[in-house]
C-alpha cells in the first residue's frame, strides 16, 4: 500500500522529471540518467518511490526500450536506483548530511566595499541564447558546421587512455603541457614567422587572460598605455581599471600611426592582423615602421593576433610584428578561440623568457594553469595533422561566405559604406550621417537578426553611433543570403529615417 501511494503521488511529477529530450544533444541514455539524478538530488523523486517500467518510460519519451534499460542499469550500478525482484525499480536510500535551515539575512550595502566597479564600464553585450536566432551575424562565435567534430573526438579518445589520464590529471603547479608547447613551436607559430624557445611561451585561458595578465604585469596607476581607437572594448576596460593615463592612438586605413602620441607611451596594444573592429590589415611597410618606432622610443608593443591562421587570402603572407622584432619590443598574444571554438579557452603568450617567468608566477596566483586535459587534447589534435586540415577547410568556407556577403551588400544596403580586410571574419559597416546603428540593431534583433552596434568600440561612443559590424563565422552559409536581404531592409529603413531627419522637407 505504501509503495502504491508513493507511485500515485509521484505520477504528478513525471512531467517535471522527464523533460523534452534534445535529439541533437548528448546521448539519450545520458540525458535520461541526468534527469533522474537531478530529480533524486533535489528531492523531486523521494526515497523508495517506484519509477516507470522501462517499457512505459520508453513510450513516454519516444525512445527505444533498450535506451531506458541501459540508463536504469547504469544508475543501479552507481547506487542511485535499486531493483527489487518482481516489484520494479526504486529510488535507493542514500544517507545525506543534514542541512540546517538558514534564516533570511538583511541585504548589505556592498558598493561601499568595492575597490573597483567593473560593472559601470561599457560592456559588449550579446544574447546568451544567440544560437536560437535565425540570422546570428556575430563576430568571433562558433559555427558547429565548421568544427572538426570527428577529428577532435579522435584526439580526445587518444588522450583518454589510463596512461594519458595519469599525465594530464596531475597538478602541473605552474607548468604547461610540454607537448602543446612543442606543437605551438613546430606547427602553429612558424606560420606567423615566429620561432620561439620553450621558455618563451606560456599558455592562458584564451587571449582574454593573456591580455589581462600583461596589463597587470606592466601597467601601474601612472603608466601611459596606448590603445587603438576604435578598439577592443574589454581591453580598454582592463586598462582603464589599471591606469589613469590611457592614450587613445590615431589610425588611418593602414592601422595605428606611430606618431608623437605613440612615442609617449610605455606600452601599446595593437591588432595588426585584423584591426578590431574595422578589420583593416596593416601592410608590411607600416608594420616595419611601427616596430622601428617602438625600438626608437622604448615602447613595448603587445600584438593581439586574435584570429591568426584562419585566412587563406594574401594577408596571411604578411609576417607578424613579432617576427619583425629584433629588439625584443614585441609581445605576441594568440588564441585558438576564433580558429577552433571559443569554449576551448586556450590562448598563449610569446615573449622573452624573463617576461614569461613573471607571467608564470602571476598566473599561478590566479589559477595555476589552464585545464591540462584541454591542453593535451589540443596538442594531439595538432600533432595528428588535424589542425592544418581544419585551417584549410574553415578558411575556404570563410572566404566563400565573405565573397557572398561582399556581393550582396551593395545591392541590399546601398546607403552604406563597408569594408573588410583580407582574411577577416566580419564586415565593418558605416551608415549615413545621423544613422543610429544601435536602434537599427535592436530593430533587427526583433526580426531574428543579430548584428553588433559599433559605438561600443570607441572611447567616445558618439563617434561610433553610425557604425555596426556583421560577423559571419557563426552563421551557416546557406542562411546568409536570406539574412542579409532581410537585414538590408531594416538598415535601409533606418538610413531613410536618418536622411529625412537631416534634411526635412
Q: Mean pLDDT, to the nearest integer, of 439-459?
A: 96
Residue 163 has pLDDT above 90, yes or no: no
- Between CA 281 and CA 285, with CA 284 as vertex, the angle to 5 degrees is 115
Neighbour tally for 293: CB within 10 Å? 19
Q: Mean pLDDT, to the nearest integer, of 401-430?
A: 96
- The set of residues, in sequence order, having a beta carbon less than 8 Å from that of 414 and lying 6+ positions away, is 492
pTM, entire model: 0.86
From CA 16, how far away is CA 21, in angstroms rounded?
A: 12
From CA 27, how far away is CA 31, in angstroms rounded?
A: 6
Residue 330's SS3 state is strand
| Closest by CA position to 205, among listed 58, 18, 337 | 337
pLDDT at 3: 43
Task: Categorize the per-residue pLDDT at 301 as very low, low, confident or very high, splitting at 50, 70 and 90.
Answer: very high
| Closest by CA position to 252, among listed 282, 295, 277 | 282
Q: Mean pLDDT, to the nearest integer, of 477-499?
A: 96
Cell 560593472 sits at which residue?
Answer: 119
Q: For residue range 114-139, list pLDDT tens digits in order.
A: 888 898 898 888 888 888 999 999 99
**What are the backbone dihedrals phi and psi of residue 237, each rounded to the nearest 5 degrees, phi first?**
-65, -40
Residue 96 has pLDDT above 70, yes or no: no
- Reading the block at residue 174, the C-alpha cell is 605552474
Residue 302 burial class via C-beta count within 10 angstroms: exposed 0-12, middle 13-18, buried 19 and up: buried
Beta strands in 78-133 (DSSP E): 81-84, 88-91
Residue 9 has pLDDT above 60, yes or no: no
Helix (H) or strand (E) holding 412: helix 386-412
| Closest by CA position to 451, among listed 420, 479, 434, 472 | 472
pLDDT at 5: 39
Q: For residue range 225-274, list pLDDT tens digits in order.
A: 999 999 999 999 999 999 999 999 999 989 999 999 999 999 999 999 99
* Largest pairwise CA distance in the chain: 89
Neighbour tally for 349: CB within 10 Å? 25
Distances (CA, A) of 398 to 42, 133, 277, 408, 474: 45, 20, 17, 15, 10
pLDDT at 499: 85
Amino acid at each position: 500500500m505504501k509503495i502504491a501511494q508513493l507511485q500515485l503521488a509521484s505520477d504528478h511529477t513525471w512531467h517535471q522529471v522527464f523533460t523534452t529530450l534534445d535529439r541533437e544533444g548528448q546521448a539519450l541514455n545520458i540525458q535520461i540518467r541526468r534527469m533522474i539524478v537531478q530529480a533524486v538530488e533535489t528531492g523531486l523523486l523521494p526515497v523508495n518511490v517506484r519509477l516507470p517500467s522501462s517499457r512505459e518510460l520508453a513510450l513516454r519519451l519516444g525512445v527505444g526500450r533498450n535506451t531506458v534499460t541501459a540508463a536504469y542499469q547504469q544508475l543501479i550500478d552507481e547506487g542511485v536506483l535499486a531493483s527489487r525482484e518482481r516489484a520494479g525499480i526504486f529510488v535507493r536510500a542514500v544517507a545525506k548530511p543534514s542541512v540546517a535551515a538558514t534564516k533570511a539575512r538583511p541585504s548589505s550595502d556592498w558598493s561601499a566595499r568595492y575597490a573597483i566597479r567593473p560593472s559601470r564600464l561599457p560592456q559588449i553585450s550579446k544574447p546568451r541564447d544567440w544560437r536560437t536566432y535565425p540570422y546570428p551575424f556575430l563576430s568571433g562565435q562558433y559555427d558547429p558546421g565548421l568544427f572538426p567534430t570527428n577529428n577532435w573526438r579522435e584526439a580526445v579518445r587518444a588522450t583518454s587512455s589510463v596512461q594519458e589520464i595519469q599525465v594530464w590529471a596531475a597538478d602541473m603547479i605552474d607548468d604547461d603541457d610540454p607537448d602543446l608547447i612543442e606543437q605551438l613551436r613546430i606547427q602553429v607559430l612558424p606560420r606567423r614567422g615566429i620561432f620561439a624557445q620553450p621558455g618563451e611561451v606560456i599558455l592562458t585561458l584564451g587571449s582574454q587572460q593573456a591580455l589581462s595578465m600583461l596589463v597587470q604585469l606592466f601597467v601601474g596607476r601612472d603608466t601611459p598605455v596606448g590603445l587603438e581607437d576604435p578598439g577592443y572594448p574589454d581591453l580598454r576596460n582592463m586598462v582603464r581599471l589599471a591606469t589613469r593615463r590611457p592614450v587613445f592612438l590615431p589610425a588611418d586605413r593602414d592601422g595605428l600611426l606611430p606618431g608623437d602620441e605613440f612615442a609617449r607611451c610605455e606600452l601599446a596594444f595593437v591588432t595588426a592582423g585584423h584591426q578590431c573592429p574595422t578589420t583593416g590589415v596593416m601592410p608590411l611597410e607600416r608594420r616595419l615602421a611601427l616596430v622601428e618606432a617602438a625600438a626608437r622610443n622604448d615602447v613595448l608593443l603587445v600584438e593581439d593576433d586574435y584570429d591568426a591562421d584562419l585566412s587563406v587570402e594574401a594577408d596571411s603572407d604578411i609576417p607578424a610584428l613579432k617576427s619583425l622584432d629584433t629588439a625584443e619590443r614585441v609581445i605576441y598574444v594568440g588564441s585558438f578561440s576564433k580558429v577552433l571554438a571559443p569554449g576551448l579557452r586556450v590562448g598563449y603568450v610569446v615573449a622573452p623568457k624573463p617576461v614569461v617567468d613573471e607571467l608564470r608566477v602571476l598566473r599561478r596566483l590566479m589559477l595555476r594553469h589552464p585545464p591540462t586535459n584541454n591542453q593535451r587534447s589540443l596538442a594531439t589534435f595538432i600533432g595528428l595533422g588535424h589542425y592544418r586540415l581544419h585551417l584549410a577547410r574553415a578558411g575556404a568556407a570563410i572566404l566563400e561566405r565573405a565573397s557572398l556577403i561582399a556581393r550582396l551588400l551593395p545591392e541590399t544596403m546601398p546607403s552604406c559604406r563597408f569594408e573588410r580586410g583580407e582574411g577577416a571574419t566580419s564586415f565593418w559597416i558605416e551608415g549615413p550621417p545621423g544613422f543610429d546603428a544601435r536602434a537599427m540593431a535592436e530593430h533587427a534583433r526583433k526580426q531574428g537578426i543579430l548584428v553588433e552596434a559599433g559605438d561600443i568600440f570607441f572611447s567616445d561612443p558618439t563617434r561610433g553611433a553610425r557604425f555596426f559590424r556583421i560577423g559571419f563565422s557563426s552563421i551557416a552559409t546557406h542562411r546568409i543570403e536570406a539574412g542579409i536581404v532581410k537585414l538590408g531592409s531594416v538598415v535601409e529603413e533606418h538610413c531613410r529615417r536618418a536622411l529625412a531627419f537631416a534634411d526635412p522637407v
